[in-house]
Amino acid sequence: MKLRNLSAAVIAATTLISPPAFSDLQISSGQAHTLINDNGTLLAVGSNRYLESGQSIDISNIWDETEINLPALVLDMDATSVKSIAALENGDIYIFGRRLAIDKVSNLSGATQVEVNDLGAYALIDGDVYFGWSFDGATWIKIDGLSNVTAISARGKHLLAVDINQAAYDIDASNSVTYIQGLPPVLRVEAGNSHSMFIDANNQLWAMGEDPYSYGLLGLGTKAGTPVPTMVPNGNDVIDVAAARFHTLSLKSDGTVWGAGGHNYISLTDSSIYNVSASFVHITELDGASITDVEAGMNGSFASSEDTMHSWGSGGVIGNGSLTELHRPKANYVSTFEPEVILPTIAGVQLDGSYIITGTNFGSDTGSIIMDGYSFGILSWTDGLIQLERPSVAMSGDLVVMDADGSISNAWTVALIPEPSIKHCNEADANRGHGNDCDGFDEDNPGKGKGHFKRKK
């Protein structure tokens, strides 16, 4: 699984920030199970034979998406083989699978991204990467040779990492770190079982690694691997990539989904499901589906929009309710969790249309505010209070508040409605700080502020 999909503009503006919380659907698929992070609620479908789906009993198949009971909203999660991990909004980390019942990792918290592979689990905390597979976080080790890491991706027996300088690294089974030469500045890394994929600062896709089954899963036009990073033909304008054992998926900025490798996972024609494609081919069935993210599992493929998971491949793991294989993308899950209004505590609209945000989860250091590729001008930033410029157009999405060091202070789903002026207000000195005093926020009736911020469940 990779860093949750952000637009290229957002990534470029923030030098690859950590994933914002509660961003629509997040999918991660292992060998025979799939996790779905639906706006902070974690669900599982497929096998629970090794307790990898977070349920208390060993069962071969969970036919319907089933909620995993956790004490807080899920910030990030990952699934691979028969293991799973989740990082919660409250800082807790939970692991489960490989015969371990779901439980909290003690003495380790605050991860902004988590990954699992055949070797164990990884947690990205304050730019450092920790590795282990134990409920005692004191036994997890910090990987030497990595610092200022902004994103990680694990699969098979290796880990990929990218740092604040947009340099990429490969970490092997012994946790030895190797700088990957021959790449331009990197926005995103994605680990497959035996190969690696990269998206550079110009949204060009690169590939390197092995192709042990001669499926052409690197998408280079050949069924052989390559030991050096190689530019993928027709790999321009790529904003997301997903790599697995037998195939690779990519998503372009125009919303089209592409695949290379085994046909039963990349969806072409029923008559060619046992063939392979060594070059990326267009999966036309997903055109117009507003896809924002792709995921590749060992036995399935996934493409999600804001509220719908399209999937195909082996039955059960793709959430289709049976063991029947699907060789066509199908909408097998639709989000059922709606956002609720909770944070921040006050949101007001000023006379000039600027926005006021107050809260307790960000400090006094001037940072940045970003939403959907738009970087907001900050009119003032003090401890617990930020005043933003008015957006030029109405917009909604993930509003990401970041500290000066680039770490996320908070993230909300928010609707911002530009209002150049507010009429019928009383600017008299005696009225300032009370009622409608032209700041667009009724201090005497806080629930009537014009700005409304929503954090998803």
- Indicate the length of the chain as a whole number: 457
Considering 278, 306, 334, which residue would you say is the last residue of a domain? 334
Cα distance between residue 168 and residue 339, in whole Å: 35
- Where helices occur in 300-432 by DSSP H, the ranges are none
Is the model's pLDDT at 3 over the cut of 50? no
Q: Residue 68: what pLDDT?
A: 96
Q: Identify whether residues 319 and 372 lie together within a single domain.
A: no
Name the band, by pLDDT with cuts 50, 70 and 90, for residue 387: confident
Q: Identify whether residues 372 and 322 lie together within a single domain.
A: no
Cα distance between residue 325 and residue 327, in whole Å: 7
Q: Identify whether residues 72 and 151 lie together within a single domain.
A: yes
- What is the domain range of residue 86? 8-334
Is the model's pLDDT at 293 over the cut of 80? yes
Tell me which of 366 and 273 has the higher pLDDT. 366
Q: Identify whether residues 42 and 88 lie together within a single domain.
A: yes
Mean pLDDT of 369-393: 69
User: With the CA atoms of 406, 410, 413 and 419 taken in that order, what torsion angle do they form, in degrees rounded to the nearest 10?
Assistant: -80
Q: Residue 455: what pLDDT?
A: 33
Q: Identify whether residues 329 and 350 lie together within a single domain.
A: no
Name the band, by pLDDT with cuts 50, 70 and 90, for residue 6: very low
Q: Residue 427: what pLDDT?
A: 44
Q: Residue 162: what pLDDT?
A: 95
Mean pLDDT of 389-402: 64
Instruction: Judge whether 279 lies within some domain.
Output: yes
Is the model's pLDDT at 337 over the cut of 70? yes
Domain count, the chain: 2
Highest mean pLDDT among 10-14, 55-59, 70-74, 405-409: 70-74
Is the model's pLDDT at 268 over the cut of 90? no
Answer whether 419's CB lies under 8 Å from 390's CB: yes
Considering 305, 334, 363, which residue would you say is the last residue of a domain? 334
* Strand positions, DSSP E, 283-317: 293-296, 300-304, 308-313
Instruction: Judge whether 340 lies within some domain.
Output: no
Cα distance between residue 100 and residue 83, in whole Å: 9
Mean pLDDT estimate for the chain: 80
The Cα angle at residue 339 between residues 16 and 389, in degrees rounded to 5: 55
Q: Residue 95: what pLDDT?
A: 98
Q: Residue 299: what pLDDT?
A: 93
Cα distance between residue 111 and residue 75, in whole Å: 9
Instruction: Judge whether 1 lies within some domain.
Output: no
Q: Identify whether residues 136 and 70 lie together within a single domain.
A: yes
Considering 334, 358, 383, which residue would you say is the last residue of a domain? 334
Cα distance between residue 406 and residue 276, in whole Å: 42
Cα distance between residue 186 and residue 205, in whole Å: 10
Name the band, by pLDDT with cuts 50, 70 and 90, for residue 359: low
Q: Residue 25: what pLDDT?
A: 86
Is the model's pLDDT at 364 over the cut of 70? no
Mean pLDDT of 111-118: 95
